[in-house]
Amino acid sequence: MNPEEKYRRDRAIIYVLTYAGLRVDELSNLKLTDIDLDLKRIRIVGKGMKVRTVPISNTLLAEIHDWLAFRAEMANQKPQVEDSPYVFYSQRSPKFTVRGIQTMIENYSLPNKRLAPHMFRHTFCKWMLKATNNDIEKVRRLAGHSNIATTSRYLKDSYSDLADAVDALPNF
């Protein structure tokens, strides 16, 4: 895989993880037919074969467009890509495995800060809670959590969030 191809694939993966909140297993199994660019949504087969649909933001839409156009160019050059039903492939396989994705993300870690795919999902959930004014049910559905207690873990505010809230109290 050439450096540009790797960069574009890795970037698209990080965008999908961050802006759609997929689990790494869901990303690995994501097929081209699961993405509907016209209706701006992704069909995700999650844990327990539960299917959910996540809307695609304009930011993510642009990134997916770029990746799929580039992927189509690669398909003209590589039979394994052309034959692959998956959105993401690896150097030697038509499907980028869970372990392969984990390793790819770990390779972007800093010496004192290890990256993991779930961190991007965590960011998605935190951003969605903020965007929905803490509508935990909406976030639960977007994240594909069967139990709302799982989603509620993302509600734990950092100390700085609490300090900002106290500073925002009105004066009288």
Instruction: Report the catalytic residues.
Output: 23, 47, 118, 121, 145, 154
- Under a CB-based contact definition with an 8 Å cutoff, are residues 10 and 31 in contact? no
Give yes or no for a contact between 88 and 96, defined as CB atoms under 8 angstroms apart.
Answer: yes
Rounded CA separation 21/23 (Å): 7
- Asked whether the CA dihedral 134, 135, 140, 142 is positive or negative, the reply is negative
Question: CA-CA distance, 17 to 52, in Å (whole number)?
Answer: 15
- Residues contacting residue 158 through CB under 8 Å, at least 6 positions apart: none
Residue 69: HSE in the Cβ half-sphere, 13 Å Cα cutoff: 7
Measure CA 167 to chain center.
33
